[in-house]
Structure 1
């Protein structure tokens, strides 16, 4: 089972509270960065509300498949039907549905028949579109939950009339600062291309952006495509890279320019089969493919934490689209210090129609080559230095930060070692405990990992966690690695092969007293190891509850 972080627990509790207060026609909006774990979050909500029929709505087939995978990872007993992509599995307690399919009149009738009480809209910034509105209007009494990384739209339409004000918000800057996502470094790559004569038009969602055909004619040139390749060779050689283009033909031309330079590249588009996509993603993961170009296929639902470079070869006026694109490289992975953004920057002197760049999209001035965390730190320092009355507080803050840095560095983890076959190994402490992230069979779109260990002194193999996405497996492994560093004696608790774990629980012992104190049922034949796991799980839940309470208090006093 996937373990939610305290921030995800906070979001879950906020939605559950809103649902209990108004289960009929209630609303909730969660805004969280790409890579935060929105699918795992709403899958956990579905597990909590499994007594009602639930409809999960998305606009792409791969999003439906990913939602079904995560639902069954979070709750192995979940029964999930799919409507869309040629499937019509009506009648399951949980239905994942494609908006193109379910918005047709013949399918709208089934919405009333199966009495859905909760609608979850994935990537809900699309919800103002007519097809979504048809589905939502067909279920006026259902509770609505929208999840998105980017609630702002170019057409100015607000999501609040549909989902209410955000109950929880964590943007990409917050997630990076809290260590939930990898850092970002951006380099602006100048070109000689002009965007000044390109008109604007409405896209499929009703937003105004550069006219796609005019944009394609302006930027899909041999000179600009070669400039993209040269920028990669100068700044990003060896990095696993995805490149966003303006059209399928543009994507093919950019990929061809990379291949001619001896850099393995391929294209994924809307017509690429699911089998072929899985093969390309696997090649990008193992490094045999260096660059994967696309149009909009990878903006939503793409999940490959190893990607550590994003090329923005597609100018856009949309803040949402820009954030979605760069967020595809922000997931954490072993030894991934930052994701490099190569921002292909064209000339545009009409400020009203100027394209997005990373500074504009994040509302933060970022100097060339500067990490996002460095930019935030610099901006905060500059602001503090402008106000003389805060100088003393700034010095005190910096001194405290230095002290914290020293304490953290004492327990800094060494680097993960990447081995053949996608295996990651971490050697911990002077006793050289070994923790490994071991690829196991993929679950559809997502490569899953077991967390395994060999602990001193006998180094017998053991599995700590089974079949989890990389970011969750990494979180679990590093938490226990820190525990081994900070308390070497904890190896006795972590070692699944320790002799004490198989001993029967002493009814009069300390563990049994703790179980009774926490009101955890004691079953016949329970071992000390099983009791230890139950106590640890309960303590973790108490810590999460305490963190949620502290976060709520901070919010009330802010």
Structure 2
């Protein structure tokens, strides 16, 4: 079976093909929003690369999803993953890192030379000595392409005694493995081409005073989340809202703060509303039981699924028309991936509802405005509308206008701006020091012959020139005075 690619997918595959057929050997990234059909893009990349290719996934669920997409093309492949119960080597291998790293010597002997990495931002640490870097340094692949919807990692930072959390863009971190991007699919593209389900937001007030970050600043502690949920009486409010949503939405996925909350909520729904209406999935749900629950949910046999630490990344259910996010989170990836479960398109589904029970959108903004841009004068960053959200302390406000001002100041300091900062003021007499760059102040980076005389008059009257500093500037000012220009 050959899939008919969507227009934005065709453009992305062309970029992938150009990289594969180039002389480049640097590890590169492809960025695509949740719901863009990443498993298809990976399958296309694997098809273009041909054999001798390894595809890495962080979880069993993503591995199966990606593997099935490739084999539906009629391309043979094998699975090497303990969590899947299969360990078969071939010229096209879908694997989890924890399993395949043990046979890296055999991969080298087989001539595996290409690596594709799904969810490249997660679980693939670029730190020297990490599981990932040890594996890649030994394998030494020729071509590496990473795929992700969230090219950032949350990191705890500090200045002096002050610590804070910061989302760092994956190419702007040190150490760095993926240094370059070859293609970005924007959310706006998918919305414009009608491949993203329109979302309707419902945001609740939430008192987060009880919330505390964990030791690395990446998420709130489980204890503080539970305490905040209890103080807000949140779980009862969610159940009351579900009494209405069940008559509006066909398929509802609810993210809760704990397994206990999931079980209690499902028991109440099944006892008070309709038996079998709700089920629970969590990280400890046995594989076969989980598969059966998911199948009932997708087929419409179950209307509501409560989940904890499951059904986020990689869960594909196009019929899902409501996500209830019932816990606070400090993780952009967790929030984005959860909301992204509802954006997949399906015939008969004209919109989807997002119920933000804990006002998480106040931290992350509206994901419909998310963009990844190589912004002029700044470089790569993630933006929500005009607000930068990467490489700044979380909670700080930096806009594109702020970046424009900063870039202009940088240009001025470096003397890069052409014209006004470089061209002499009309009628200004020549002097050997005219092209010297101003080293401070309002006109820092400007050539001396381009600076208004009013500024020279100001600094001449206010500066102490006896300290011996800035002799060249003083000499130029004296030149202007001598020629009756000041």
- Same-fold call, TM > 0.5? yes
- Structural mapping, 1:338-487, within 5 Å: 338-345=351-358, 355-357=360-362, 360-362=365-367, 364=369
CA-to-aligned-CA distance 1:204-237 (integer Å, 9 cap, x gap): xx66111123212332579321101222233453
Which one of the candidate residues 105, 112, 118 is aligned to 2:114? 118
Q: Which residue of 2 aligns with 1:213?
A: 223
Q: Does 1:316 align with 2:329?
A: yes
Using the size of structure 1 for normalisation, the TM-score is: 0.58
Please report how far the alpha carbon of residue 56 of structure 1 lies from its aligned counterpart in structure 2 after TM superposition: 1.0
1:231 aligns with 2:241: yes
2:458 counterpart residue number: none
Q: What is residue 198 of structure 1 aligned with on the other side?
A: 211
Deviations 1:57-94 (A, max 9, x none): 11111111111100111x21323233331535342111
- Maintained 8 Å contact 2:115/2:141: no
Consecutive unaligned residues in structure 1, runs of 5 or more: 347-354, 366-374, 377-558
2:60 match: 61
- Residue 34 of structure 2 is aligned to residue 18 of structure 1: no
In structure 2, do the counterparts of structure 1 residues 235 and 127 end up closer, same or farther at CA, with 3 Å as the change threshold?
Answer: same
Q: CA RMSD in A?
A: 2.6
1:177 aligns with 2:177: no
1:268 aligns with 2:268: no
Question: Secondary structure at the residue paired with 1:307?
Answer: coil
1:165 aligns with 2:175: no
Q: Is the alpha carbon distance of 1:268 and 1:112 closer, same or farther for their aligned partners in structure 2, counting shifts above 3 Å?
A: same
Q: 1:231 to 1:162 in 2, by over 3 A?
A: same
- Say yes or no: does 1:146 pair with 2:146: yes
- Normalised to the residue count of structure 2, the TM-score between the two structures is 0.66
1:359–1:235 CA distance, 2 compared to 1 (3 A): farther
Q: Following TM superposition, by how much is the alpha carbon of 1:5 offset from its aligned partner in structure 2, in angstroms? A: 1.8
Q: Which runs of 5+ in 2 are unaligned?
A: 156-166, 371-383, 386-486
Structure (1 or 2) with the larger CA radius of gyration:
2
Structure 1 partner of 2:258:
247
In 1, Cα distance between equivalents of 2:233 and 2:100: 44
Q: Secondary structure at the match of 2:81?
A: strand
- 1:176-228 alpha-carbon deviations (Å, 9 max, x no partner): 2320121111101335xx322322115xxx66111123212332579321101
Q: Distance in 2 between matches of 1:36 and 1:277?
A: 25
Aligned in 2, Cα 1:314/1:134: closer, same or farther, shift over 3 Å? farther
Aligned in 2, Cα 1:304/1:321: closer, same or farther, shift over 3 Å?
same
Matched residue SS, 2:4:
coil
Q: How many pairs are equivalent?
A: 349
Give me the whole-angstrom Cα distance separating, in 1, the residues matched to 2:107 and 2:361.
39
User: In the superposition, relative to structure 1, how do residues 255 and 142 fare at CA in structure 2: closer, same or farther (>3 Å)?
Assistant: farther
Q: Distance in 2 between matches of 1:131 and 1:328?
A: 30
Judge conservation of contact 1:323–1:361 (CA < 8 Å) in 2: no
Shift of 1:357: 4.5
